[in-house]
Structure 1
Amino acid sequence: MGEQEGLEELFRTSETDLYGEELTPKQKRIVEAAIQMFSEKGYSSSSTSEIAKRAKVAEGTIFRHYKTKKELLLAIVTPVMSNLLAPFIIRDLDKVLSQNYKCYEDFLTAIVKNRQTFIEKHISIVKILLQEIPFHNELRSQFIERIGKEVYNRLEAIVTHFQDKGELIEMPTQAAIRLTATSIGGFLLTRYILLPDNDWDDEEELKRTIHFIMNGMKAR
């Protein structure tokens, strides 16, 4: 499924605005244009006049629906977080987290491939989240509450399982999750955000990333 289909899924799962009213065709065009602009230029560098031009509406139309540019950002991210990302990530990760893996390497391979599929489908939204969460307390709080806590609890159980089996060195579970997540996150961030046009060999990069994690965490 491509990115355009990902946007259509967003609209199907979030047919109302921040106030519970049904989105109009113009609002959908505004939201889609804002997603494109925020993804390409970042929130701070995108103007409402540029968004209006891309959406083919008057700038005043944006402010009839959204009082500020910040409210437009929240109108995109809040339903995305609540209706699409949170349930999709949890449901989608369940396919990975609920499996019985022979070893931690197999689990890491499955979860990275799972996340690659998700990013490729929702690359613009992922860019906005990565760019804006560090700078907006509202978005950070939403992410932690609706996604972060649930995912962390599931990862904690898996790491503890492999530690109990003697496959991973003894260390605080939080540290093991952080080291795993930063290694995988660094690969995905570089692959899709920082250097997407590089000549990537995904299979080899995945093997290198997992090798790096396991050499530092595997029991000897």
Structure 2
Amino acid sequence: MEQAFEDLNDWLMTSEMPFGKKQVLKAAINLFSKQGYDGTSTAQIAEASGMSQATIFKYYKSKEDLLLVILKPLIEHLLPVYGKEFAKKLSQQDQNLANMIHFIVQDRYSFLVQNKDAVMILISQLLINQQIKDNVLQKIVDVKDIFEQNVWLPLKKTGELRDDLDVAGFLRIVVSQIIFYFIQTQRISIADEKTIQIGLKQIEVSILRAIEK
């Protein structure tokens, strides 16, 4: 049965893995997000997790292997294509472009916030880690058909999209604005919920101006 991934911590808690392995992952996520990957040592992860470095290397070949294990589920579910559940929710929106963009912006921003520590790790690594970048690009290629079926076709059926807009252009417009706003609200200027919603509404308006006829 297909599961909709929402929260990395819930994934950790429900995954069938040894307690020590989970503790190492939780400690690594917390430290990587606060200190950066390069600024965190396995000794610090061991101390924060209550496990020995020997235990860490029992489960993970290297610190980079640990990083990849943390980011894999996030990369798998970052795009709104985890299938039937998202498509069902999208189809329940009134079939006009404004309502569908509202749902996509709210849903993806919520996903980023729920997984903010891991997302900040991913964003930082995308700038410097070629393997992570390749993994993300490969995932985009892998899910292209699913995205077109679940998201792009319903948007096109509204008849409100610009004729010259393609999938890649749509993703650039939407993803860049949501991620930048996420970074702003989580790292640059922490805002209250009311202010965040005002900002999200402004993003929706900006996206609509860029993609509608």
TM-score range, shorter chain: 0.7 to 0.9
Contact 2:161 2:211 in 1 (8 A): yes
Contact conserved, 2:29 with 2:70, CA < 8 A, in 1?
yes
> Is the 2:74–2:119 contact (alpha carbons within 8 Å) kept by the matching residues of 1?
no
Letter in 1 for 2:114: K
The answer for unaligned runs of 5 or more in structure 2 is 1-6
2:152 is matched with which residue?
156
What is the CA-CA distance between 1:179 and the residue it aligns to? 1.8
Note closer, same or farther for the CA distance 1:197–1:10 as it changes in structure 2 (3 Å cut). same
Q: Distance in 2 between matches of 1:112 and 1:87?
A: 12
The question of 1:90 aligning with 2:86 is answered: no
What's the TM-score, normalizing by structure 2? 0.77
State the alpha-carbon separation in 2 of the partners of residues 181 and 73 from structure 1: 23
Pair 1:161–1:30, CA change in 2 (3 A):
same
**Counterparts of 1:80 and 1:179 in 2: how far apart (Å)?**
21
| Equivalent residue, structure 2, for 1:7 | 9
The aligned counterpart of 1:113 is: 106
Structure 1 residue aligned with 2:62: 68
Shift of 1:107: 0.8
The Cα shift of 1:199 comes to 4.5
Unaligned runs of 5+ in 1: 16-22
Of the two structures, which has the highest relative contact order with CA contacts closer than 8 Å and spacing of 6 or more? 2
* TM-score, structure 1 normalization: 0.75
- Tell me the distance in 2 between the aligned counterparts of 1:79 and 1:168: 31
Q: Find the counterpart in structure 1 of residue 132 from structure 2.
A: 139
Superposed CA RMSD in Å reads: 2.9
Q: Distance in 2 between matches of 1:86 and 1:180?
A: 13
In structure 1, the partner of 2:173 is 179
Alignment partners' CA distance in 1, 2:184 and 2:156: 29
- Cα deviation digits, residues 73-113 of structure 1 (max 9, x gap): 1232235545xx37996145324433353321111111122
